[in-house]
Amino acid sequence: TKLGQPVVPLPGELVNLIEQAQEGNTITLP
């Protein structure tokens, strides 16, 4: 984790967006 940041569970949709970002895909929000 980053310094001073608490560990917070993320909603499934946000997790999916993060995974796509890590894969290098372009994320577009409605």
- Please tell me the distance from the alpha carbon of residue 9 to that of residue 5, in angstroms, as a whole number: 12
pLDDT of 21 reads 76
27, 17 contact by CB (below 8 A) = yes
pLDDT at 28 (0 to 100): 64
CA distances to 12, 14, 20, 24 from 29, in Å: 15, 11, 13, 16
- pLDDT tens figures, 1-30: 456 666 676 688 778 877 877 776 666 666
Neighbours of 17 (CB within 10 A): 15
Q: What pTM was estimated for this model as a whole? A: 0.37
- Return d(Cα 8, Cα 29) in angstroms, integer: 22
Which residue has tokens 């560990």?
Answer: 7
- The pLDDT value recorded for residue 18 is 79
